[in-house]
């Protein structure tokens, strides 16, 4: 069994230009210099449409520090520790994660 970790980080939203996009908010700095910034993760409409049916990797990922980004059911997920898994295995893990969350 893998030590795979999956985190749902948000929902895909339309940007102000009518396209699809996703912004991930992170907090950086400490003390008085602490602030929240938004990283825009580019995603095209084909990835959104395909991701409604089957988990789909967001490529190219311009922010490798976030990890492996996937979209499924209009949600964005970060998948960690999946280096030894095939895409098919990762897809099953994401589907299992979503179903388990719905049942709880």
Classify residue 19 by its DSSP letter.
S
d(CA 9, CA 94): 13
Q: Distance of alpha carbon 75 from its chain centroid, rounded? A: 7
Asked if residue 60 has a cis previous peptide bond (ω within 30° of 0), the answer is yes
Which of 17-21, 22-26, 45-49 shows the lowest mean pLDDT across its residues?
Answer: 17-21
pLDDT greater at residue 83 or residue 46:
83
Q: What number of other Cβ atoms are within 10 A of residue 92's Cβ?
A: 13
Beta strand pairing call for 20-28 and 13-14: antiparallel
Alpha-helical regions (H) of the chain: 45-51, 87-103
Structure tokens that stand for 103 in this block: 């049942």
* Whole-model pTM over 0.85: no
pLDDT greater at residue 80 or residue 24:
80
Short-list 41, 104, 53, 29, CA closest to 78: 41
């Amino acid at each position: 069994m893998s030590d795979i970790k999956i985190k749902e980080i948000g929902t895909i939203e339309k940007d102000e230009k009518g396209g699809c996009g996703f912004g991930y908010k992170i907090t950086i700095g400490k003390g008085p210099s602490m602030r929240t910034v938004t990283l825009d993760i580019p995603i095209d409409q084909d990835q959104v449409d395909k991701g409604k049916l089957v988990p789909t990797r967001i490529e190219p990922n311009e922010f490798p520090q976030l990890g492996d980004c996937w979209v499924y059911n209009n949600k964005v997920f970060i998948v960690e520790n999946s280096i030894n898994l095939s895409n098919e295995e990762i897809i099953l893990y994401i589907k299992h994660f979503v179903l388990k969350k719905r049942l709880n």
